[in-house]
Each structure stands twice: as structure tokens, then as C-alpha cells.
A and B are shown apart, each in its own frame.
Chain A
Amino acid sequence: MGKRRPVSYYLLSLFFAAFLLFLYGPMICVYLLSFQGPEGGMSFPMRGFSTVWFETLFKPGGRGVGDIHNSFFRSMRMAAIVAVLTMLIGVAAGMSFRRRYPGANFVFYSAITSMVVPGILVGFGISLALNVLGLRPDWWYSGIGAQLTWSLPFALLIMFIIMGRFDRSYEEAATDLGATSRQRFQYVILPLILPGIIGIMMAGFTSSYEEAARGALNIGTGNTMPMELTALLGAATTPVMFAIGTLTTLFMFVTVIGTLLITMSLARRRQLRLVAQPA
């Protein structure tokens, strides 16, 4: 208190403010324009204020809406499956690194490589391979597989962070008390890393939901949300696009906040159990 802050403090604060402006400024424009009046166009100025574009969005065969409803459900379905698979495979792979095994380095570096290789090439490669094999791409195998090449490396890295902080003596104590490896995982490791596992599911969900580069060529017929949005943007004529933007943002916020609340209630449940049984 009372101490003068250095000049760098103000410079960095300014930089941070600029960062916030660039991050949220455009988004706020989108949200505002989604409430454009019926006569309004794709850009400022606002001509009145209405929810007509939201109505258009939910009207069957609304102008400029395209196949957005179906693609939303397709995306949701894929994201949910990818989230669960990412969690299962990522946790298992992360646990495998608790012990050194032959090929551990290969597994690790190949995972990192798939983060580095441009997504569009991965997607193209998968599609080529399918072609050679004479298979038709479909969302439930090649689509999900292509997205997993993106989400799994993240899951593995998150697991490294989680397990890196995990005190090995918990496992040893459990073993010492007679736990089998299954009991050790179920009663000790899993409850302790549960918030991290929820985090991995979230990462899997969002990376699938917004992914297009790898999935595009491999999901067969029927666009996903990001693909449909790209298509609509190319032919954009009405502010209904912005209404979609506002709603998807709202949806993602609800998902993220919901997950946070679940994680927090897990922590609170422990506290509640304490209060219920006063010492």
C-alpha cells in the first residue's frame, strides 16, 4: 500500500486491456447484431431492436438457416461420444505411463506428433486411406476416429499433469492395506482425480464440437455444426447467423458452468458429510 507501482505495471495492464478488447469486442458485436431489427443487415448500424432472427432460426424452413438444426444435433451426438471415448482412452493411456514399458516413448511422441501435424492433412490422409481400402466414410467410425486424433493427445497431456501431482504413496498405502489394482483405482485413484477426469471429458467435448479440419472429409453425409456454419457464412445474407452465434455461445457457457457446478458440488458433498456427522 502507498508504494508506487512501476511503469511496467501500467504498460502490462494496458496490454491486458487490449487483449480483452480483442477477445470480447468482436463477440459483443455478434451478440448485438443478433438483435438486429427486421429491416437490418449484416453490419452496423442497428435498425431497431428485435428477436426476429431468433424466431427465424426456430421457424421450419427459415431463410438462411440451412440445415443448422440437424447439424447441431449431429455435432452434439459426436461430441458426446468423443468426450466419453477421450475420457476412457485418455485415462487408460495416462495410467499406463505410471510404469515404464517398452514403447512408452513411441506412444508419447506419436501422440504429440498428431498435435503438430496440420489437422487438414490428418483428415485428408484418413480419407485417402479409406478410399484405398474401399470404405465409405461415416460419422460413427471415421468421423469419430478423425476427431479422436485431435482430442486424445490433449487428454494424455492433461493426465500427465494430473498424475504428476498425484502422490504415489497413496497407491502404496492402498496396496499395503490389501487393495487389488482394481480396488486401488476404484477407491483411491478415481475419487482423487475425478475433477481432472471431468476436465478431460470437457476438453474432449469442446474439441469435437468445434472441430472441422479433421472431421470434414470423414463424416460422410450430413454436416456438423462448424461445417454448416462455414457454409452459411459463405452465403450469408441475414443476421440469423448472429443469432446462431449468440445461442451457441450461450450453450457452451451453460455447459462449462454446469460442469464447474458439478465439480464444485462433488467437493461440497465431502464437506456436507462432515457437517452431518459432527465430531
Chain B
Amino acid sequence: MKIDVDFNSKKVAADTDGPAASPEAAMKYDVEMVSVSKVYDGGAKAVDEISLRIPKASYCCLLGPSGCGKTTTLRMMAGHETVSDGDILIHNRNITDAPPAERGTSMMFQSYALFPHLSALDNVAFSLKLKGVKKAERHAQAMEYLTLVQMEALAHRMPGQLSGGQQQRVALARSLITRPKVLLLDEPLSALDPFLRVMMRTELKRIQTELGITFVHVTHSQEEALALSDVMVVMNGGKIMQAGTAREVFETPGNSFVAKFIGGHNVIERDGKTFSIRADKCRLIESAGGQQMVATVTTVEYQGSQVRINLRSDSGQDLTTLLSDTRYFDDPPKRGERVIMSWLAEDEWPLAAA
């Protein structure tokens, strides 16, 4: 409930329309991308003129299917990929061509990339060693950051002796010790098992809130993006499909791609118009004055508090209804049964074609 309130109060301006007009406005953003493109040698366009502003101290998720350009976008922010066209600003400074270490960013790699020949402590202290900080001093500082990620007890272990989740905490500490303005995370949770994934997700959000810096997190998991994002950016084919708060994206998807990708929506075409309707707003009863479609139950998935019913309409469209368990068990529809799926016209959300 608390989270809901938070989302309501925080209407984030994640607009996608060009650069900031005044310097005053620009200061509100940690990251600004101005029609940034990435074209590879062969002519393939990985990222196609994307513009994005990420407000101060926000948790931003870049979400999309594989090959949508989200990782390339992140790597361009980090400086590990050259920008073909456009500009990237961090804290109102143009860093488009700056070396990775001079951007105020730090990147956490998907594989964590912990140096296997250095202990957790030495991994975290690595950037200080490069700067010539004395051993005792850099170890003391590294220990502070290991404490932040609750890894102080295992500081002297080698990466090979740490579990995936522990390695990730060390990688996080190693990135944070450089005091980045923006932390870039490349699919940080994808290598973890589902239980750890949810735990680390909470942890990442806690640390982001505690440090008050911007995190940019690449993911292909809708659930992850919805749970974490202050700003959620849905990408496809090198373009931004929609950027906004998680609630905006979920409740008012910009086009049918977003509605389908984000999940939990039925995208229905009728009379030449496309609209989305949330699966949890659909019922399997006839409703007077409501909209309805005749369909056949294909599968039923019990999910605990909810039951997901997959349907196929007579016109051959795949549909989904999410029913609360109580409503489902009142009158459980069977596989192969013909039912009427209904919804209220006011719950329809018109979509632009993707």
C-alpha cells in the first residue's frame, strides 16, 4: 500500500522530447541522451536516435526483448561502446567522447567480471590502488563498502569461493567505491536463482535509496522492471517505445508492443481500432452494458492468490483473464469450456499501432 502512495506522489517526467531547454531544467536530470544512435560497421542500427532524460536519484530500468538495443544503450553511457551520433550528458556535462573512468559512471557487468586473482577486498580496493592510495587506507575504505553490501565477513575470499549472489555484492561494492554519479547495471539479476533474484532486487533498491544516486538497470524481466523502476523505459528495435513511471507504463501502455511485452494485458482489435484491457479487469461472466467476447478455455494456471485463465476467442485471438482465487473457485471454468469474457468499456485503453 505504501508503495502505491509513493508511486502516486512521484510523477516522474521521463519525457523523450529532445534536450533540456534551459540549464535550470537540465540540472534536474542525472542522465540525458539526445538523439543517440549506434550504427555498426555493417550498417546495422543497434540504437536508433533515442532521447531520454533520467531525473535525479532515480532507479531507471531499460526493459526490452534481447536485441532491442538496451545493453548497447547502457554501454554507450558507460563509454564501452562509441556513440555513432547524438550526445550523452551526465550531470549536465557532455561526456559523449569521454573515457569510461571520467564520466562519473561505473558499470556492473553481467558476469560481474571480478578479477579472479584478487580477493574480494582487493577487487573492491582496485580503483584506489590505481590511484596510488596506500594499502592500509584503501583496504579500510574497501572494507566500508563491503560492509555496505554485507560482505565484510568474506572480504578475504577469492571470487571463485563466493556464490553468485556474493560475487554480485562484491561487484557492486567495487563499482560504488568509485563514487559514481550514475551506476550502470547490465542484467545484474539474470544469473541468480529466482529466490536470490528477489532478495537482491530489494537490496539494490535499498542501496540506491541510501546513496541517493541514479541506477540504470538493464533487464528483460517485466516483473523486475515494474518492481524497481522510478523510470521505466521500454525499448524495441533500437527505439524507445515508452518511458514513464512503472505505473504509467503498466496502466497506460503507449502501443500494442508495450502492452504485450509488459504482460498482464489483452490487446484486442475491433472495428479497425486497437485497445488494451488489463487481464485482471476481465471477467468470465456476462455483464449488462459491458463489452464481451465468446471464447474457449485453453489452459488454467493456478498461481496462489490468483488464477490465470488462457482463452482463445472464436476469431482465433489469444486472451487471458486473471481471476482472484475466491472468484475462480466460486465457479471454476474447465478446459475446453465455452465462456464469455467481459469487461467494462471504461477499462479499455486505446493503443497506437506499434
A interface vs B, CB < 8 Å?
167, 169-170, 172-180, 183, 187-188, 191-192, 270, 273-274, 277-279
Pairs of residues from A and B, 7 with the lowest C-beta to C-beta distance, nearest first: A178-B101, A173-B113, A169-B113, A177-B127, A277-B156, A191-B117, A169-B109
Alpha-carbon gap, A129 to B101, bound state (A): 51
A279 adjacent to B155 (CB under 8 Å): yes
Cα–Cα distance between A15 and B127 once the two chains are bound (Å): 55
Cα(A178)–Cα(B107), bound, Å: 12
Q: Decide if A270 touches B156 in the complex (CB within 8 Å).
A: no
Residue in B80, B154, B155 whose CB lies within 8 Å of A172: B80
Q: Does B261 reach chain A (CB closer than 8 Å)?
A: no
What 0/1 pattern do residues 107 to 145 of B give for CB contact below 8 A with A?
101110101110100000011011100000000000000
CA distance A279 to B117 in the complex (A): 17
Q: Is A274's CB under 8 angstroms from B107's CB?
A: no
Interface flag for B185 (CB, 8 Å): no
Q: Looking at chain B, what size class is its interface with the partner chain?
A: 20 to 34
Which single member of A172, A183, A279 contacts B109 (CB below 8 Å)?
A: A172
Residues of B within 8 A of A174 (CB): 115, 126
Check: B274 CB closer than 8 A to any chain A CB.
no
Known: A173-B174, A176-B80. 20 other contacts (CB 8 A): A167-B113, A169-B113, A172-B100, A173-B113, A173-B115, A175-B80, A175-B101, A176-B78, A176-B100, A176-B101, A176-B107, A177-B127, A177-B130, A177-B174, A178-B131, A178-B178, A187-B126, A277-B119, A279-B153, A279-B154
B16 located at the interface, meaning its Cβ lies under 8 Å from any Cβ of chain A in the complex: no
On chain A, the residues within 8 Å of B117 by CB distance are 191-192, 270
Q: Which residue of A lies closest to B131 (CB)?
A: A178
> CB-CB < 8 A to A273: which residues of B?
119
Measured between beta carbons, the chain A residues less than 8 angstroms from B111 are 167, 169
The reply to whether A173 and B178 form a contact with Cβ atoms under 8 Å apart is no
Number of A-B contacts (CB under 8 A): 73
**Chain A contact surface mostly:** helix
Interchain CA distance A138-B100 in the complex, whole Å: 50
CB A4 to nearest CB in B, in angstroms, measures: 40
A183 to B101, CA, bound (A): 13
Q: Is B334 an interface residue (CB 8 A)?
A: no
> Are A170 and B153 touching (Cβ within 8 A)?
no
Determine whether the beta carbon of A178 is less than 8 Å from that of B130.
yes
> When the two chains form their complex, are residues B101 and A274 in contact, meaning their CB atoms are under 8 A apart?
no
- Give the complex CA separation of A174 and B116 in angstroms: 13
Q: Quick one: given A183-B130, A274-B156, A274-B158, are A173 and B109 in contact (CB under 8 Å)?
A: yes
A279 close to B156 (CB less than 8 A): yes
Which B residues are within 8 Å of any A CB, using their own CB? 78-80, 99-101, 105-107, 109-111, 113, 115-117, 119, 126-127, 129-131, 153-158, 161, 174-175, 178
Instruction: For the complex, give the distance between the alpha carbons of A167 and B109 in Å.
Output: 12
Complex Cα distance, B105 from A274, in Å, reads: 32
Q: Given known contacts A270-B158, A274-B156, A277-B156, is B130 in contact with A179 (CB within 8 Å)? A: yes
Which chain A residue has the least Cβ–Cβ distance from B120?
A: A279
Interface core residue of B99, B154, B156 (most chain A CB under 10 Å): B156
Specify which chain A residues have a CB less than 8 angstroms from the CB of B119 in the assembled complex: 273-274, 277
A274 near B157 (CB under 8 angstroms)? yes
Looking across the interface, which residue of chain B has its beta carbon closest to that of A271? B158
CB-CB under 8 A from A172, the residues of chain B are 80, 100, 107, 109, 113
For B79, B105, B117, B127, the residue with the greatest tally of chain A CB atoms inside 10 Å of its CB is B117
Q: Which residue of B lies closest to A267 (CB)?
A: B117
Distance from A20 Cβ to chain B, minimum over Cβ atoms (Å): 36
Q: Are A187 and B156 in contact (CB under 8 A)?
A: no
Inter-chain contacts of A270 with B (CB < 8 A): 117, 158
- Give the distance in Å from the alpha carbon of A179 to the alpha carbon of B158 in the complex: 21
Contact residues in B for A278 (Cβ distance below 8 Å): 156
CA A188 to CA B118, docked complex, whole Å: 9
Q: Which residue of A lies closest to B127 (CB)?
A: A177
Specify the chain B residue showing the minimal Cβ separation from A184: B130
The CA of A191 and the CA of B129, in the complex, are separated in Å by: 16
